[in-house]
Structure 1
């Protein structure tokens, strides 16, 4: 079995993305009670508000939502094809701004996984399933929720030929020096989004 991932590293501009995983068990334990729809809604509103704070001309029609939920958890990737940030460290800062806007019960690291807090990360491509090693099944196919008729490129983090605006000098995304030095410089490395096919033989 295999699933297709977009692999992100290096210091090229990229789109902000939020990786949201909320187990239904956790959702049901939240007081005051929150429905799955309300949880999704608060995430999308927090993402939208953060985009507008950083880039007031941002077009909310460029918001993208992909889902791979099942009966046990709500799983979303929220992004936008309407702007990019200069580097991975700033996407990590963006994620923290979104986290702060969520109801406290949804702020946990296990729910909002700041995947950009590393030098590189990978995200499953649209239409790609997760491979369950125990059962050998392909499960949780990542589906487009918004825009419904979007192409795979709308949902990528660093698609080829992306001409959306790069937001360079947002005071909200100033990265602490220590964070900047955490990743080795990759200026000499080609950093086009590589497709990695994870095969399990």
Structure 2
């Protein structure tokens, strides 16, 4: 996988699956992403999007929350049953319920529509960098929970765990985690941090990641 925007010549364009029920938005986002060199496959409803996901290779999914037949939250859950491909949710409302539901379903992040093309591309690049992150150069972290069974971590969950592992006992505030894990050069919505920490806690020993009230989180030594 190669990001055509991140520098260099892409031998294989990044494949994006866009599932958006609004035809105008679907066409405009497709054209905008194609101008940046991405290969976009699109669908207008959740069930068609699920079929396209199962039929092809995709490096990243952009899923609208409000979809016919199968909504974006349900589609995200279905994808997560078999894949850890990066998923970004899109919502026309900056609604806490939409955000929480999407992240709990397994999405890595979300954007609120309408979104500026340059911002959307920057967020896509950030998520793709997380997805292609090489943990071989990172600090040692446990690969197995106490039961000894492997744990499947989404790209953002892995980056988050490695960030904690690189700073054992150090309190990391939400804005720092947004910069270092989500790769945001600005203050994004800290709800993504809280929800991702909750997902990570369910997959590893919950007591290892401690909440420091009023500050953030730390990995217990």
Using the size of structure 2 for normalisation, the TM-score is 0.26
Bigger share in helix? 2
Using the size of structure 1 for normalisation, the TM-score is 0.27
Bigger share in strand? 1
